[in-house]
Amino acid sequence: MALLAEGPTHGFALARALAPDGEVGQVWTMKRPLAYHVIDSLVELGLAARVGTAAGAGGPRRRVVKATPAGRRRVTLWLRRPVAHIRDARSLLMLKLLFLERRDADPGPLLAAQRARFAVIEGTLEASMSESEGFARTLLLWRLENVRAALRFLDELMLPGGRP
């Protein structure tokens, strides 16, 4: 959806961006058939609309789609919302930062909100450490160190000149 919100495009271009060697695919990949299926689903949901066709490079004409106003609003809201879990930082947070950069938008509000969210998680995990033992403590320590690494990463990005 965020790719469609950037402007009218076609499924082949979306699939290329989502391929493992594509800019978005470096963070999150999707196989070409699924990309076309997702476009159909977004059209059915009213978040995207077909707006015409474009010549293909030596192949069939390509159906051009674009985000609807409702789709663009959803993307804007999604880009502002911090991820809920540390495990989502590698995929969803990175995607949000990528799309904010592609929009030439300030990531500061998202970074601050994300840091606040992760700081709460850090506090909760720290409080649980004294009550745990055995493997439960090992797992908590692993999660705590992941949160701390994410916080250091966010702090670095929030420094002057550190923003993506």
Within-domain flag for 163: no
Within-domain flag for 147: yes
So what's the pLDDT on residue 95?
A: 97
Q: How many domains does the chain have?
A: 2
So what's the pLDDT on residue 55?
A: 81
Determine the Cα–Cα distance for residues 68 and 5; give it in Å rounded to an integer.
8
Determine the Cα–Cα distance for residues 76 and 46; give it in Å rounded to an integer.
16
Within-domain flag for 21: yes
Same domain, yes or no, for 76 and 91?
A: no
Q: How would you write the pLDDT of the chain (164 residues) with one tens digit per residue?
A: 999 999 999 999 999 999 999 999 999 999 989 999 999 999 999 999 999 888 877 777 889 999 999 999 999 999 999 999 999 999 999 999 999 999 999 999 999 999 999 999 999 999 999 999 999 999 999 999 999 999 999 999 999 876 55
Within-domain flag for 149: yes
Amino acid found at 105? A
Same domain, yes or no, for 8 and 75?
A: yes
Same domain, yes or no, for 94 and 62?
A: no
Backbone angles phi and psi of 108, in degrees to 5? -50, -50
Unique residue bearing structure tokens 């699939």: 15
Within-domain flag for 46: yes
Domain end point (choices 37, 65, 80)? 80
Domain that holds residue 48: 2-80
Same domain, yes or no, for 62 and 116?
A: no
Same domain, yes or no, for 93 and 152?
A: yes
So what's the pLDDT on residue 161?
A: 76
Contacts of residues 70-78 at CB distance under 8 Å and 24 or more positions apart, as own/partner, are 70/46, 71/1, 71/4, 71/5, 71/42, 71/46, 71/47, 72/5, 74/1, 74/47, 75/1, 75/2, 75/5, 75/99, 76/5, 78/1, 78/2
Q: What is the CATH number of the domain that holds 66?
A: 1.10.10.10
Output the DSSP codes for 19-83. STTSTTTTT----HHHHHHHHHHHHHTTSEEEEEEE--SSS--EEEEEE-HHHHHHHHHHHHSPP
Same domain, yes or no, for 90 and 38?
A: no
